[in-house]
Structures are given as structure tokens and as C-alpha cells.
Amino acid sequence: MAAPVQSPVDTQAATTQTMTIGKALNNGLRASMEADPKVLVMGEDVGKLGGVFRVTDGLQKDFGEHRVLDTPLAESGIVGTAIGLAVRGFRPVCEIQFEGFIFPAFDQISSQLAKLHYRTQGKLKAPVVIRVPFGGGIGAVEHHSESPESLFSHIPGLKVVSCSNPVDAYWMMQQAISSDDPVMLFEPKKLYHSSALKAPVDTTATPDPLHSSRVVRHGDAATIAAYGPSLPVALDAATAAQEEGRSLEVIDLRTLSPLDLGPVFESVRRTGRLVVVSEAPSEVSLASEVAARVQQECFYSLEAPVQRVTGFDTPYPPAKLEEHFVPDLDRVLHAVDNALEW
């Protein structure tokens, strides 16, 4: 997958390192902690173990136990403590070990964290980042492979973003931490250590704005919109379609709340067709919202109904069945065929 274009501030002083997504997230955390002593990391096994996916590896050793805190198994307590720390001037970064463990903290996130700034008429800020490894593809058991991002995108007061490559992982982490509003960063766990997605990261570049989508591949036959773990599948579909003479445009949504659909509208007005790809169930989802907004804004440009390729509206299946659950190359290409047949 092609890395996003970066605009160096000073090409002579640029420092470029090749990283995986997991390493880029680690380096982004490290850069923020070096820049601001008020940045704290907290969560289950984030310290000595370095997290179950090793994203926080080495941070406790380098910054100390007072800044990288191993917490009890209590997600509500983790987020509630982070809210209190934020009110006292800190910038806590919470790790939810797996996305399926987040629901004990749902009340703290939706009733307290998301509303604190509004409830106090701006007197209090809530600079809290909640890191959420999400999605399937790791052969895990129940509660370890879900995609709950749509639930949190429905909550006013939360910002929700997702990275799909090392460049975005590095910069999104720092941008989220510097925000005075709560940000949920959904990280595609199956891509953490993918060697195929290793990319050079210029640590002196000027990053894209946090809440912006990006065209990552140009085309004119149809548009595919995806994010997080589904973006590599979308790009693979575009490569396969190119071999058959069909040019597909691929857009990485990146920001899930607020959505930045301007590039999607512009693309669909040219291609006339849209396929939305996501691992989450389709009903009342981000894929549904993108489809509805495109049909509202681009109705007279559409040559076919918007197609959705998503997880099914069932609980996440056992590991032996997950390859049939998550969107794959064949399902995406089938949706493209459906769109082009109109």
C-alpha cells in the first residue's frame, strides 16, 4: 500500500525511519511523552509487558512507572481515572486491551468524558485519548475481534479516528494527544506488525489534518471508501480490477467522527459509483451513514445504488469462520461488479 504523501518542513533535517504501524504508534507516543511531561500512558499490561501487542514496549523503562501505569483489570476505572487526571491538567492516554473489553467503560466515556466540556460551558477540558485495538483477523476468541467504532461515532463530544498505515499511526497519535477534546483512536490490530505495510515515516514532516479523508489511489470507474483494517482490502481490489481494465479510486476515510466526506462526494461525482467497505456490521453503521450522505449529496451523479461490503449482522464468529465474516477481495470485487452492471 502506498504511503501518504508527506510535506517535509526541512528536507535537510528530515529524519526518516521505516516502521510498522505498531512501531509508529509507539514512536508517536514516545514523541508526545518527550515533548510534554503531562502525557501519561495507562492500561492493562502497558508497562512491564509493553501491552499485549507491544505497542507501549519500552515506554515504562524509559519514562518510569509514574508516567506509564499498569492498571487493574477495570476499564471503567481506567477511563474514570483518566477523566480526573485530565481535569487536573494531565493528558492521559488509555489503552483498552481489546475492543470487546470497552463496554464496562461505556458509561464513563459517553456520560462523562464526552460531555465534560459542554456540561461546564468550556470551563473544563477533556484531553483524553482512548486507544482501541479493533477488528478481526488474528484468530482470537469472543470479545477480541469486534468493530464497535460506529457506537462511539454516534456520541456527540467524541472525536473518532482510525489509522491504516505507519505514517498516519505516527502522526494521528500525536495529534490526538495534543487535542483538548477526547479522541478515540481505533487501531487495526491485525495490521500492527504487518511487514507488507512497513513504510518510511518522516518524523519532521507536516502531517495531514487529523480530521480529513484522503484519496490514496486515483481512478475513474468507481470509488471505494474504507478505513482501518479494510483499506488494504480496498487497495487489493483496485489492483485486481486494474488487471481487468477497470480503474478504481480508493479513499481512506481516516476520520470517523466527524466524517470528512468532501473528497468522497467529489470522487463519486466523477465515477458515479461507490462501494463502502468496513468490518463492522452494516445496519445503523458508518457504512450506512456514508451511503446515505452520498445519496443525499450526489443523487444526480450516481449511476448505481451505493454498495456496502461489511461484516454480517451477527456476533463475531469463532476463529475458524472469521475469514468468511470480514470483507475480502472477492466480496469487494463482487460489489464493484454489481455497481458497474447498472
Tens-digit pLDDT profile for residues 109-157: 999 999 999 999 999 999 999 999 999 999 998 899 999 999 999 999 9
> Is residue 123 classed exposed, middle or buried when 0-12, 13-18 and 19+ CB atoms within 10 A define those classes?
exposed
Contact 278, 327 (CB under 8 A): yes
Q: Which residues contact 322 (CB under 8 A, 6 or more apart)?
A: 136, 137, 139, 145, 316
Q: Say whether pLDDT at 1 is over 90.
A: no
Q: Estimate to the nearest angstrom the gap between the alpha carbon of 330 and the chain centroid.
A: 23
pLDDT of residue 15: 85
pLDDT category at 3 given cuts 50, 70, 90 is: low
Q: Would you call 144 a catalytic residue per the annotation?
A: yes
Domains and CATH numbers, the chain: 17-202 (3.40.50.970), 214-340 (3.40.50.920)
Mean of the pLDDT values across residues 182-195?
Answer: 98
**Exactly one of 143, 144, 193, 211 is catalytic; which is it?**
144
Q: What is the pTM of this model?
A: 0.94
Q: Say whether pLDDT at 2 is over 60.
A: no
pLDDT tens profile 156-173: 999 999 999 999 999 999
Q: Say whether pLDDT at 8 is over 70.
A: no
> Whose grid coordinates read 528536507?
11
pLDDT of residue 142: 85
Grid cell listed for 260: 470528512
CA nearest neighbour of 331 among 296, 287, 294, 292: 287
Q: What percent of the chain has pLDDT over 90?
A: 95
Query: In this structure, which amino acid lies at residue 280?
Result: A
Q: Which residues pair with 274 in a beta bridge?
A: 223
Cα Rg of the chain, angstroms? 20
